[in-house]
Structure 1
Amino acid sequence: MPLHAPEWIILLTIIAMSLYSLWESDKVKKAIISGKKTKIRAYQEAMLFLWVPTLLLLAIDRWA
């Protein structure tokens, strides 16, 4: 069964977010330890990072 465009978008988003998380996690930890970034700022960025795919799924559901 072939994947449709919305399914491809979701799949690519999951893969991209996973790779980005692996790439950036150590940088965020180091920035917090060194004082360049606060924990609150890191939490805010994490929340934004999690809301993006949620809004994408809602948009796809709305238009599908």
Structure 2
Amino acid sequence: MPESTRICPQCAATFCCTGDEPSSACWCMALPPVLTVPENSVGCLCPACLGLAIAAQIEQAKLIQNT
């Protein structure tokens, strides 16, 4: 399974991605699909930043749902 080192555009942490090949899945594919990748995206987020972004999106959805 090919693996590449990435740098998080949000915090500059390095992390590994295994999703460069169509036959392999990256670790991020196991997370809830609540975020869309913006067109102007400069790269993947690291596990910590993506986890925080997903948690924030879920909380925002809960707030909207309760209004």
TM-score by length of structure 2 reads 0.34
Greater fraction helix: 1
Higher RCO (C-alpha 8 Å, min separation 6): 1
Query: Max radius of gyration: which structure?
Result: 1
Greater fraction strand: 2
